[in-house]
Amino acid sequence: MDIQPQFTNLSTLLTNRLFRIPRYQRAYSWHRKQREDMFNDIKMLRGNSESNHFMATVVGLRRGLTTIVTDQYRVVEVVDGQQRITTLVILLKAIEQNLDRRIKDEKKLASELEELLVKQDELSLVLLQTNHDKSHYFSNYIRSGERVDIKGVRTIADREILSAIEDCDNFVSAWEDKIELLRIIKNQLTFIFHEIDNEETVYTVFEVLNNRGLRVSWLDRLKSMLMGVAFQKSMGNVNEHIEELHNIWGNIYEAIGLRQGLSGEALKFAASLKSKNRPSKPHSEESAVQLFMELCDGKAEKSIKLSYWLLEVAKAVDSFLGDTFRSKAVTNIAQARLLAVSILLSSFSDEEKRLLLDKWEKTSFRVYGLCAKDARTAIGDYVRLAWDVLNTPRITSEEVKQRLDRFSEGKEHDINEAIRQLQNENCYEGWEEELRYLLYRYEEHLSENKGQDFSNEQWARIWEASAAKSIEHIFPQSKGALEYIEPGQPGIFVHRLGNLLLLPPGLNSVLADKDPVDKAESYRSTGLHCATEVANMISEGGWANEQIEEREKNIIKWVRETWA
């Protein structure tokens, strides 16, 4: 295949073109690390106008011409390179915002940038995030410089767009000579631009560029390969098939844009659950793409069917990760997450799914939380069961439950040994996530004992923040021992389970070094049963080793009843 590239700088690339990112492309996903790398590349060109820096290969699909007032523009859909182009457009807007319009030259440059970024109709943008900019944070910033507080923003894509705006503004503000910076960005950053006028060709470009060493994500590569099959193998329905694939992949990217890391997980899980043979470990992204292309078998209808399957899995993974409490039970254990997703995708009734997920949760926390097994434990057990749930004819929920029970059998998962590790041991350092989950379940237990519904807005805040921001040492760390104390020796070991409590984020910092008796009313004010229980104990007898041991015994008794 003959690809005719253009070697160009950013100024030429953006001139007389309107770039559009279609919905079936990935949402903005660059992180601060990638932006910092770009900023460092730009810094290397400071004071050296003879040098340039190659930024990236950009692939665009020509979509015709459009006239705005008196100027004509080529409309180009960005197929690859959208992350870098988006960041550079934000950077240009940040420069325009930082130029001093009281100075004649800077005022002129600011006006030129405005005309480049927003066309004469005051609506059309040089780059339009048509794929997943439902909140319009990007377009509003490019048009008017409007900025929004990142707090409360839901999706990863929106958070990264707002972070990019902040990062670019900070970078520009710190650069003393704004005109020099603009000159570098427009003239010394170079690209190889492939402008293609045939959509079918686009989906083979990825393979050519990948073979030449250009890094393309496995998910994006799969999309291009499946669309290539639809173009080449459709029986007279090419446009319908491609439009359907565009819609499916738009929904896929919308789903995976909600959470960090979801794209790779969805791809690996979809392949693992679709394997021809029963697997013993999850697929890698590369092997997942290979399997999908084997299953596609060069047939357009299969490329659509497999895309729908990937969408279904992506939604299930997002649903699982959205259940903050449940997903935190087995942090970073891929095979456990795979089984949970398989149960969500199964044909079991809603009630059967609920009971199975409860059993999955208890088993997984016993293995990986209480017994502290690492991610290498029970890989095959979880993966095989996940596959069986969707692929074994007439498998029952009772069979799945029984196999889950067997996962935690044996000496290596002995509940008595796990409980011994909770008694007068360090349950704080290195165990923060597990501790948060354990105390969450303990709060649930206390609510049930009081006949109350378990719903408290404080817990939502606790789960939103990092565990360290909520873990409270009832007897302060500054006044106790940070290491184990032998029985009978003076002092209080502050990291033991009985001395640890969860509070709404930040309250532990406010209370800090106060004596327990001075914290009691603050504990009560949280509305948390576990905190009120501690406050009552303090009021009745103070807070020393006797009370810590009593509370620890109560929690451990409940652990035994729940996980034995």
CA dihedral (166, 167, 173, 176) in degrees, to 10, reads -170
pLDDT at 125: 76
Determine the 3-state secondary structure of 402 from DSSP: helix
Q: What is the largest CA-CA distance in the chain?
A: 89
Question: Has residue 2 got a pLDDT over 60?
Answer: no
pLDDT at 533: 92
Cα separation, 353 vs 340, in Å, equals 9
Q: Which amino acid is at 311?
A: L
Cα separation, 293 vs 274, in Å, equals 12
pLDDT at 26: 81
pLDDT at 460: 72
Question: Has residue 207 got a pLDDT over 90?
Answer: no
Out of 50-59, 125-134, 546-555, which region has the weakest mean confidence (pLDDT)?
A: 125-134
Question: Has residue 130 got a pLDDT over 70?
Answer: no
Question: Has residue 360 got a pLDDT over 50?
Answer: yes
- Beta 53-68 vs 189-196: how paired, if at all? parallel
pLDDT at 359: 93
Question: Tokens 């984020």 belong to which residue?
Answer: 505
Question: Has residue 401 got a pLDDT over 70?
Answer: yes
Mean pLDDT for 210-234 is 76
pLDDT at 231: 80
Name the packing angle between helices 262-274 and 218-233 (round to 10°): 60
Starting at the edge strand that comes first in sequence, how are the strands of the sheet with 127-128 ordered? 6-9, 189-196, 53-68, 71-80, 17-20, 127-128
Cα separation, 276 vs 226, in Å, equals 19
Cβ distance 306 to 352 under 8 Å? no
Q: Tokens at residue 22, please?
A: 């279609």
Q: Which residue has the higher pLDDT, 479 or 171?
A: 171
Question: Has residue 33 got a pLDDT over 80?
Answer: yes
pLDDT at 451: 73
Which residue, among 413, 337, 340, 327, has the nearest Cα to 373 in the 3D structure? Answer: 413
Q: Tokens at residue 413, please?
A: 């998962």
CA atoms within 13 A on the CB side of 3: 23
pLDDT at 461: 77
In the DSSP assignment, the letter for residue 62 is E
In the DSSP assignment, the letter for residue 118 is B
Mean pLDDT for 225-235 is 79
Determine how many CB atoms are found less than 10 A away from the CB of residue 359.
19
Check the CA dihedral 380-383-384-385 and report its sign.
Answer: positive
In which band, very low, low, confident or very high, does the pLDDT at 507 lie, cut at 50, 70 and 90?
confident
In the DSSP assignment, the letter for residue 17 is E
What are φ and ψ of residue 265, in 5° steps? -65, -45
pLDDT at 278: 95
What are φ and ψ of residue 504, in 5° steps? -55, 145
In which band, very low, low, confident or very high, does the pLDDT at 174 lie, cut at 50, 70 and 90?
very high
In tens, the pLDDT along 109-121 reads 999 999 999 887 7
Q: What angle do CA 163, 265, 280 make, to 5 degrees?
A: 155
Where exactly are the structural domains of the chain? Answer: 6-200, 217-322, 342-413, 422-563
Which residue, among 185, 175, 157, 141, has the nearest Cα to 49 in the 3D structure? Answer: 185
pLDDT at 1: 46
pLDDT at 258: 62
In tens, the pLDDT along 470-500 reads 889 999 988 877 777 767 667 788 899 999 9
Sequential DSSP letters for 98-125: HS-TTSHHHHHHHHHHHHHHB-TTSS-B
Cite the beta strand spans of 122-224 per DSSP E.
127-128, 189-196
Cα separation, 376 vs 280, in Å, equals 12
Q: Tokens at residue 21, please?
A: 């990112």
Percent of the chain with pLDDT over 70: 91
In which band, very low, low, confident or very high, does the pLDDT at 177 lie, cut at 50, 70 and 90?
very high
pLDDT at 213: 47
Q: Which residue has the higher pLDDT, 215 or 470?
A: 470
Mean pLDDT for 211-240 is 76
Cβ distance 153 to 159 under 8 Å? yes
Cα separation, 79 vs 196, in Å, equals 10
In which band, very low, low, confident or very high, does the pLDDT at 132 lie, cut at 50, 70 and 90?
low
Which residue, among 265, 355, 275, 253, has the nearest Cα to 28 in the 3D structure? Answer: 253
Mean pLDDT over each residue of the chain, to the nearest integer: 87
Cβ distance 189 to 58 under 8 Å? no
Which residues lie across from 71 on neighbouring strands? 68
Question: Has residue 445 got a pLDDT over 50?
Answer: yes
In which band, very low, low, confident or very high, does the pLDDT at 205 lie, cut at 50, 70 and 90?
low
In tens, the pLDDT along 63-79 reads 889 888 888 999 999 98
In tens, the pLDDT along 279-330 reads 999 999 999 999 999 999 989 889 999 999 999 999 999 888 876 665 565 6
Q: Tokens at residue 275, please?
A: 């394997």
Q: Tokens at residue 280, please?
A: 């013993």
Question: Has residue 180 got a pLDDT over 70?
Answer: yes
In which band, very low, low, confident or very high, does the pLDDT at 234 lie, cut at 50, 70 and 90?
low
